[in-house]
Amino acid sequence: LPSICMRRLPIVLTLMALLPLHTKAAPGTDPFEQNRRLGRGINIPGVFDRNGETVPDPPMKPEYFKKIGDAGFKNVRLVIRWSSYAQQEAPYSIDPVFFKRVDWAVEQSLANKLAVVLDFHYYPLISFTGTQTSQADPQENRTRFLALWRQVAEHYRQAPPEVMFGVLNEPSRPNLGIDGWNALVAETIPLLRSTNPDRTLLVQTANGGGFGSLESLRIPESEHNTIVEVHNYDPGRFTHQQASWSSNRIYKDVHWTGTPEEKAAIDEAFAKAAAWAKKNNRPLYLGEFGAYQAADMPSRVQWTTYMARTAEKHGMSFAYWGFWRCGFDVFDARTETWTEPLLKSLVP
């Protein structure tokens, strides 16, 4: 790994020169300022989370990052399945070719003035994959998880502060639990700080990253440069209707029209989250929200608009799920055009 990092160092230094805002991570980085820097963003799935497949078709193009920046987005959340591109046995080395692919995406993002969240997605037996069983034991893969993060942290230790680390996507309910997740957070943060003392970290809540687990989240009190990431797809019977992987697939023709009751449910959830954030002095990043394509477009637009504006009202940054290849798409790869009603709901 050190030799790989040395070969990448000139490129990383070039990245730092490209970015006008900063040249290096400053001690005492303010997470609230970093959260404002994130602003409005979008997830990029279907590129680095393909379970071992090398190049998606069609491929992610440099001009797509420019389109994202020109549209008014300020951050991209790179959905990365590191575990699928690494050895199963010690020392669990990450494929250097895959590192280069991720480096390219980071370069393109920074060149277009987009902050980057390196999301650690789909880790077997710990985070949500949609196919796990309650018998799975997260401790079986704990050593490998930490080894992968050690490599990623070392690889990006010289990256500018606009590159942030997402510790783990949607720590899952049956496989980890609240205590298990808090213990893993307490172990992972010092590991990351050993090479990235000033890097902004994003830490999700247990039970899939939901709002309801905020009260049970424990981040070491000494850890100040942290943003808490939450996800919200409520109501699921609307946002995930007919989605094959979801328990809400049984629903059909469910609409969201912005009734007082529908808005009140969102208002209450966000108000509680904002109260927690103020009490605990932690900024919040709405790392995922979206409505599946089976829902009618007017309902999707109304729901997305209300979610985005409510998040902003409470000082939250966000990343919509997602850019493409996810069934929630706001960009059509076939025509290489935005779905304008959804885009305008996110960036008025």
Give the pLDDT confidence score for residue 176 in this predicted structure: 80
* 48-52, 59-63, 91-95, 254-258: least confident range: 48-52
Question: What percent of the chain has pLDDT above 70?
Answer: 85
Determine the 3-state secondary structure of 287 from DSSP.
Answer: strand
Largest Cα span, the chain: 59
Determine the 3-state secondary structure of 9 from DSSP.
Answer: helix
Give the pLDDT confidence score for residue 314 in this predicted structure: 98
Do the beta carbons of residue 284 and residue 274 sit within 8 Å?
A: yes
pLDDT one-digit tens code per residue, 282-337: 999 999 999 999 999 999 999 999 999 999 999 999 999 999 999 999 999 889 99
Give residue 52's pLDDT band: very low, low, confident or very high (50, 70, 90): low
Would you state the structure tokens that stand for residue 64, as one six-digit string?
A: 């797509």
Would you state the structure tokens that stand for residue 58, as one six-digit string?
A: 């069609």
Instruction: Work out the mean pLDDT of the chain and round it to a whole number.
Output: 89
Compute the average pLDDT of residues 138-166.
Answer: 93
CB-facing half-sphere around the CA of 151: CA atoms within 13 A:
23
12: phi then psi, degrees, rounded to nearest 5: -60, -40
What single letter denotes the amino acid at residue 120? Answer: F
pLDDT one-digit tens code per residue, 245-262: 999 999 999 999 999 999
Q: Is the pLDDT of residue 57 over 90?
A: no
pTM: 0.90
Instruction: Determine the Cα–Cα distance for residues 252 and 54; give it in Å rounded to an integer.
Output: 35
Give the pLDDT confidence score for residue 250 in this predicted structure: 98
Strands (E), the chain: 40-48, 75-80, 115-120, 163-166, 201-204, 226-231, 284-288, 317-320, 331-332, 337-338
Q: Is the pLDDT of residue 183 over 60?
A: yes
